[in-house]
Amino acid sequence: MKDKLNVIVMSGTVDKLLAMSTIVSGAVAMGKEVNLFVTFWGLMAFKKGAWMDPSQQKLPAEYQEFGPMMQERMQAMGIQPWMVTLKTAKEIGDIHVYSCGMTQDMFGLKLDDLEDIVDDEKGVAGFIAMCEDAEVLVF
């Protein structure tokens, strides 16, 4: 079993972000090192406070009708927001979060505009080099 998991986070929809944070949390619990590369609409979800803003919590168009039911079920089950799950996982495990430098430039963002969970900015080539001999998931 490989001991490193690299995750490309390119979607900013809550369904994918929740799945990503849950899988990352499981990987950390198994002792894996996890590296996240956050790009495109995924990066917009990592802007400070975006994960708490209801207007930023989007679902893909084909699932929008299920949003209220999903929110209700998550609250009833005590499921934490995706960012809380990710921050908790980072507190207990080896997680590194990198923003895509090109995407930051494209959206006019600086590291200070992003949640503190983001460690640094990285280019595509740097992240791809990290992916050698590692599992890679895309969300």
The predicted-structure confidence for 44-55, as pLDDT tens digits, reads as follows: 999 999 999 987
Q: Which pair of tokens denotes residue 132?
A: 């050698």
Looking at 30-123, list the stretches that DSSP marks H as alpha helix, in order from N- to C-terminal side: 40-45, 67-77, 82-92, 101-107
Predicted local confidence at residue 55, as pLDDT:
79
Q: What's the domain range around 80?
A: 4-138
Question: Max Cα separation, the chain?
Answer: 43
Look up the CATH number of the domain holding residue 11. 3.40.1260.10
pLDDT at 58: 81
Q: What is the pLDDT averaged over residues 23-44?
A: 97
The radius of gyration of the chain's CA atoms, rounded to the nearest angstrom, is: 15
**Residue 1: is its pLDDT beyond 60?**
no
Is 80 exceeded by the pLDDT of residue 67? no
Please report, rounded to a whole number, the percentage of residues in the chain having pLDDT higher than 70: 90
End-to-end CA distance of the chain: 21
- Of 118, 88, 82, 84, which Cα lies nearest the Cα of 103? 118
- When pLDDT is cut at 50, 70 and 90, the band that residue 59 belongs to is confident
Q: What is the pLDDT of residue 63?
A: 67
Structural domains in the chain (count): 1
d(CA 3, CA 55): 37
Supply the pLDDT for residue 99: 98
